[in-house]
Amino acid sequence: MPADPSQSSEQAVLCRTEGRVAILTINRPDKLNALNQAVESGMLEHLERLADDDGVGCLVVTGAGEKSFVAGADIGEFEGRSPLEQRQAMAFPRVFDVMADYPKPVVAMIGGFCLGGGCELASSCDLRIASSRARFGQPEINLGLLPGGGGTQRLPRLIGMGQAMKLILTGAMIDAAEALRIGLVDEVVEPEQLEARCLELASEIASKSPVALRLAKEATRAAERLPLGDGLVYERDLFALAFSTEDKVEGVQAFLAKRKPSWKGR
Protein backbone atom coordinates (compact mmCIF):
# COMPACT_ATOMS: atom_id res chain seq x y z
CA MET A 1 0.00 0.00 0.00
CA PRO A 2 1.97 3.06 -1.15
CA ALA A 3 1.96 6.24 0.90
CA ASP A 4 1.21 9.48 -0.87
CA PRO A 5 4.15 11.77 -0.05
CA SER A 6 3.60 13.79 -3.21
CA GLN A 7 0.41 15.27 -1.83
CA SER A 8 1.10 18.70 -0.36
CA SER A 9 -0.39 19.86 2.93
CA GLU A 10 -2.27 22.53 0.95
CA GLN A 11 -4.10 19.92 -1.14
CA ALA A 12 -4.43 17.42 1.69
CA VAL A 13 -6.73 19.63 3.78
CA LEU A 14 -9.19 22.06 2.23
CA CYS A 15 -10.75 24.97 4.10
CA ARG A 16 -13.88 26.96 3.35
CA THR A 17 -16.05 29.20 5.48
CA GLU A 18 -19.82 29.55 5.77
CA GLY A 19 -20.63 32.58 7.87
CA ARG A 20 -18.71 32.22 11.13
CA VAL A 21 -18.04 28.49 10.59
CA ALA A 22 -14.82 27.15 9.03
CA ILE A 23 -15.06 23.70 7.46
CA LEU A 24 -11.82 21.70 7.23
CA THR A 25 -12.01 18.79 4.80
CA ILE A 26 -9.36 16.08 4.82
CA ASN A 27 -8.95 15.49 1.13
CA ARG A 28 -7.63 12.02 0.26
CA PRO A 29 -10.85 10.28 -0.73
CA ASP A 30 -9.02 7.66 -2.83
CA LYS A 31 -7.23 6.56 0.38
CA LEU A 32 -10.36 6.96 2.51
CA ASN A 33 -8.77 10.15 3.91
CA ALA A 34 -6.05 8.23 5.78
CA LEU A 35 -3.92 10.53 7.92
CA ASN A 36 -0.47 10.96 6.38
CA GLN A 37 2.16 13.58 7.15
CA ALA A 38 0.67 16.00 4.60
CA VAL A 39 -2.75 15.79 6.26
CA GLU A 40 -1.33 16.32 9.76
CA SER A 41 0.74 19.32 8.58
CA GLY A 42 -2.23 20.74 6.66
CA MET A 43 -4.49 20.41 9.68
CA LEU A 44 -1.96 22.09 11.96
CA GLU A 45 -1.42 24.97 9.48
CA HIS A 46 -5.15 25.66 9.18
CA LEU A 47 -5.73 25.32 12.93
CA GLU A 48 -2.95 27.79 13.70
CA ARG A 49 -4.30 30.35 11.22
CA LEU A 50 -7.97 29.99 12.21
CA ALA A 51 -7.22 30.35 15.93
CA ASP A 52 -6.50 34.06 15.33
CA ASP A 53 -9.33 34.64 12.85
CA ASP A 54 -12.00 36.64 14.68
CA GLY A 55 -14.43 35.94 11.84
CA VAL A 56 -14.49 32.24 12.73
CA GLY A 57 -16.33 31.10 15.86
CA CYS A 58 -16.56 27.33 15.36
CA LEU A 59 -14.86 24.65 13.22
CA VAL A 60 -16.27 21.61 11.48
CA VAL A 61 -13.83 18.81 10.59
CA THR A 62 -14.76 16.24 7.98
CA GLY A 63 -13.45 13.93 5.27
CA ALA A 64 -13.89 14.26 1.50
CA GLY A 65 -16.29 11.92 -0.28
CA GLU A 66 -19.19 9.93 1.07
CA LYS A 67 -17.36 6.76 2.01
CA SER A 68 -15.05 7.87 4.77
CA PHE A 69 -14.44 10.41 7.52
CA VAL A 70 -10.89 9.14 8.15
CA ALA A 71 -9.92 5.44 7.89
CA GLY A 72 -6.98 5.79 10.26
CA ALA A 73 -3.32 6.59 10.06
CA ASP A 74 -1.78 5.95 6.64
CA ILE A 75 -0.67 2.34 7.04
CA GLY A 76 1.63 2.75 4.03
CA GLU A 77 3.77 5.17 6.03
CA PHE A 78 4.35 2.53 8.75
CA GLU A 79 6.19 0.13 6.48
CA GLY A 80 9.97 0.15 6.94
CA ARG A 81 9.92 2.96 9.51
CA SER A 82 12.40 2.75 12.37
CA PRO A 83 11.19 3.38 15.94
CA LEU A 84 13.07 6.70 15.92
CA GLU A 85 11.44 7.75 12.64
CA GLN A 86 8.03 6.79 14.04
CA ARG A 87 8.71 8.77 17.22
CA GLN A 88 9.64 11.79 15.12
CA ALA A 89 6.46 11.39 13.06
CA MET A 90 4.53 11.53 16.33
CA ALA A 91 6.37 14.64 17.57
CA PHE A 92 4.38 17.27 19.42
CA PRO A 93 2.31 19.29 18.72
CA ARG A 94 -0.04 16.59 17.53
CA VAL A 95 -3.22 17.46 15.73
CA PHE A 96 -5.33 15.45 18.22
CA ASP A 97 -4.08 17.48 21.20
CA VAL A 98 -4.28 20.79 19.35
CA MET A 99 -7.95 20.14 18.53
CA ALA A 100 -8.84 19.05 22.06
CA ASP A 101 -7.26 22.20 23.53
CA TYR A 102 -8.29 24.45 20.65
CA PRO A 103 -9.61 27.86 21.72
CA LYS A 104 -12.73 27.42 19.56
CA PRO A 105 -15.25 24.56 19.55
CA VAL A 106 -14.68 21.82 16.95
CA VAL A 107 -17.48 19.61 15.56
CA ALA A 108 -16.67 16.32 13.80
CA MET A 109 -18.90 15.64 10.76
CA ILE A 110 -18.66 11.88 10.23
CA GLY A 111 -20.07 10.55 6.98
CA GLY A 112 -18.42 7.12 6.70
CA PHE A 113 -15.49 5.11 8.05
CA CYS A 114 -14.22 6.58 11.31
CA LEU A 115 -11.41 4.19 12.21
CA GLY A 116 -8.17 4.21 14.15
CA GLY A 117 -6.65 7.70 13.94
CA GLY A 118 -9.98 8.85 12.49
CA CYS A 119 -11.83 7.73 15.60
CA GLU A 120 -9.10 9.40 17.68
CA LEU A 121 -9.46 12.60 15.66
CA ALA A 122 -13.23 12.54 16.19
CA SER A 123 -12.70 11.82 19.90
CA SER A 124 -10.53 14.95 20.11
CA CYS A 125 -13.40 17.10 18.80
CA ASP A 126 -15.94 18.66 21.13
CA LEU A 127 -19.00 17.17 19.41
CA ARG A 128 -19.47 14.28 16.99
CA ILE A 129 -22.35 14.19 14.50
CA ALA A 130 -22.58 11.06 12.35
CA SER A 131 -24.45 9.87 9.31
CA SER A 132 -26.43 6.66 9.84
CA ARG A 133 -23.97 5.10 7.35
CA ALA A 134 -20.88 5.84 9.48
CA ARG A 135 -18.84 3.02 11.01
CA PHE A 136 -16.45 3.26 13.93
CA GLY A 137 -13.57 1.29 15.36
CA GLN A 138 -10.03 1.15 16.70
CA PRO A 139 -8.65 -1.62 14.46
CA GLU A 140 -4.95 -1.11 15.30
CA ILE A 141 -4.89 -4.42 17.20
CA ASN A 142 -5.38 -6.17 13.84
CA LEU A 143 -2.06 -4.67 12.67
CA GLY A 144 -0.20 -5.78 15.81
CA LEU A 145 -0.46 -2.23 17.13
CA LEU A 146 -2.40 -0.13 19.61
CA PRO A 147 -4.03 3.29 19.21
CA GLY A 148 -1.33 5.97 19.09
CA GLY A 149 -3.31 9.17 18.63
CA GLY A 150 -4.65 9.38 22.17
CA GLY A 151 -7.26 6.61 21.80
CA THR A 152 -6.20 4.67 24.88
CA GLN A 153 -6.63 7.84 26.96
CA ARG A 154 -9.50 9.80 25.38
CA LEU A 155 -11.78 6.87 24.53
CA PRO A 156 -12.16 5.58 28.14
CA ARG A 157 -12.90 9.15 29.26
CA LEU A 158 -15.51 9.51 26.52
CA ILE A 159 -17.31 6.15 26.59
CA GLY A 160 -16.07 4.44 29.77
CA MET A 161 -13.38 1.85 30.37
CA GLY A 162 -15.38 -1.25 29.39
CA GLN A 163 -16.64 0.05 26.04
CA ALA A 164 -13.20 1.49 25.23
CA MET A 165 -11.52 -1.82 26.04
CA LYS A 166 -14.04 -3.64 23.83
CA LEU A 167 -13.23 -1.46 20.82
CA ILE A 168 -9.47 -1.39 21.41
CA LEU A 169 -8.98 -5.10 22.24
CA THR A 170 -11.30 -6.55 19.59
CA GLY A 171 -10.65 -4.06 16.78
CA ALA A 172 -14.32 -4.62 15.87
CA MET A 173 -16.30 -2.12 13.84
CA ILE A 174 -19.58 -0.76 15.16
CA ASP A 175 -22.36 1.05 13.33
CA ALA A 176 -23.68 4.55 14.02
CA ALA A 177 -26.60 3.34 16.14
CA GLU A 178 -24.23 1.47 18.47
CA ALA A 179 -21.86 4.46 18.53
CA LEU A 180 -24.78 6.64 19.63
CA ARG A 181 -25.83 4.10 22.26
CA ILE A 182 -22.38 4.03 23.90
CA GLY A 183 -21.89 7.81 23.65
CA LEU A 184 -19.17 7.76 21.01
CA VAL A 185 -21.27 10.12 18.89
CA ASP A 186 -23.73 12.77 20.03
CA GLU A 187 -26.24 12.67 17.16
CA VAL A 188 -26.97 10.43 14.19
CA VAL A 189 -28.78 11.82 11.15
CA GLU A 190 -29.61 10.58 7.66
CA PRO A 191 -26.67 10.96 5.24
CA GLU A 192 -28.39 13.68 3.18
CA GLN A 193 -28.96 15.76 6.34
CA LEU A 194 -25.46 15.46 7.75
CA GLU A 195 -23.89 18.64 6.37
CA ALA A 196 -26.94 20.82 7.04
CA ARG A 197 -27.24 19.58 10.61
CA CYS A 198 -23.54 20.10 11.33
CA LEU A 199 -23.58 23.61 9.87
CA GLU A 200 -26.74 24.44 11.81
CA LEU A 201 -25.17 23.29 15.08
CA ALA A 202 -21.80 24.92 14.39
CA SER A 203 -23.49 28.20 13.35
CA GLU A 204 -25.53 28.24 16.53
CA ILE A 205 -22.37 27.75 18.60
CA ALA A 206 -20.48 30.35 16.53
CA SER A 207 -23.19 32.94 17.28
CA LYS A 208 -22.26 32.94 20.99
CA SER A 209 -19.65 35.12 22.68
CA PRO A 210 -16.22 33.89 21.50
CA VAL A 211 -14.62 34.65 24.85
CA ALA A 212 -17.36 32.83 26.77
CA LEU A 213 -17.07 29.86 24.39
CA ARG A 214 -13.35 29.72 25.01
CA LEU A 215 -13.72 29.76 28.80
CA ALA A 216 -16.63 27.28 28.73
CA LYS A 217 -14.67 24.82 26.59
CA GLU A 218 -11.57 25.19 28.75
CA ALA A 219 -13.51 24.58 31.96
CA THR A 220 -15.38 21.58 30.52
CA ARG A 221 -12.17 20.03 29.11
CA ALA A 222 -10.64 20.33 32.57
CA ALA A 223 -13.14 17.68 33.71
CA GLU A 224 -11.06 15.14 31.76
CA ARG A 225 -7.94 15.70 33.82
CA LEU A 226 -8.89 17.23 37.19
CA PRO A 227 -10.44 15.58 40.25
CA LEU A 228 -13.93 17.00 41.00
CA GLY A 229 -12.83 19.34 43.79
CA ASP A 230 -10.03 20.88 41.71
CA GLY A 231 -12.31 21.11 38.70
CA LEU A 232 -14.95 23.02 40.67
CA VAL A 233 -12.30 25.50 41.87
CA TYR A 234 -11.09 25.91 38.29
CA GLU A 235 -14.67 26.48 37.08
CA ARG A 236 -15.22 29.12 39.76
CA ASP A 237 -12.03 30.93 38.72
CA LEU A 238 -12.97 30.95 35.02
CA PHE A 239 -16.53 32.05 35.90
CA ALA A 240 -15.09 34.96 37.88
CA LEU A 241 -12.67 35.71 35.03
CA ALA A 242 -15.67 36.06 32.70
CA PHE A 243 -16.70 39.04 34.86
CA SER A 244 -13.71 40.91 33.41
CA THR A 245 -15.09 40.71 29.86
CA GLU A 246 -17.13 43.21 27.85
CA ASP A 247 -19.23 40.30 26.63
CA LYS A 248 -20.41 39.50 30.17
CA VAL A 249 -21.48 43.14 30.64
CA GLU A 250 -23.22 43.10 27.24
CA GLY A 251 -24.87 39.70 27.82
CA VAL A 252 -26.34 40.69 31.16
CA GLN A 253 -27.44 44.16 29.97
CA ALA A 254 -29.01 42.71 26.82
CA PHE A 255 -30.97 40.17 28.87
CA LEU A 256 -32.25 42.83 31.26
CA ALA A 257 -33.15 45.18 28.36
CA LYS A 258 -34.88 42.27 26.54
CA ARG A 259 -32.74 42.68 23.41
CA LYS A 260 -30.30 40.46 21.52
CA PRO A 261 -26.68 40.75 22.69
CA SER A 262 -24.01 42.06 20.35
CA TRP A 263 -20.79 40.23 21.17
CA LYS A 264 -17.39 41.89 21.00
CA GLY A 265 -15.28 38.80 21.74
CA ARG A 266 -13.55 40.68 24.55
Chain residues binding ligand COA by CB under 6 A are: 1, 31-32, 34, 71-76, 113, 115-116, 139-140, 143
CA-nearest of 27, 26, 31 to 1 is 31
Of residues 113 and 263, the one with the C-beta less far from ligand COA:
113
Q: Is 66 a catalytic residue?
A: no
The DSSP code sequence of 184-197 is: S-SEEE-GGGHHHH
* Residue in 40, 77, 120, 195 annotated catalytic: 120
Residue 143: CB minimum distance to ligand COA, A: 6
Residue 170: CB minimum distance to ligand COA, A: 13
Of residues 170 and 207, the one with the C-beta less far from ligand COA:
170
Strand order in the sheet with 106-110: 13-18, 21-26, 58-63, 106-110, 127-131, 187-189
Of residues 134 and 201, the one with the C-beta less far from ligand COA:
134
CA-nearest of 84, 85, 102 to 93 is 102
- The Cα–Cα gap between 235 and 229 comes to 10
Q: Where are the alpha helices (DSSP H) in 150-193?
A: 151-159, 161-170, 176-181
Residue 156: CB minimum distance to ligand COA, A: 19
Q: Is 140 a catalytic residue?
A: yes
CA-nearest of 183, 176, 174, 115 to 149 is 115
Number of alpha carbons in the 13 Å side-chain half-sphere of residue 24? 32
Residue 157: CB minimum distance to ligand COA, A: 21
- The Cα–Cα gap between 128 and 122 comes to 7
* Residue in 40, 77, 140, 195 annotated catalytic: 140
Residue 69: CB minimum distance to ligand COA, A: 11
Partners of 109 in the beta sheet? 62, 129
**Catalytic residue positions, numbered:** 120, 140
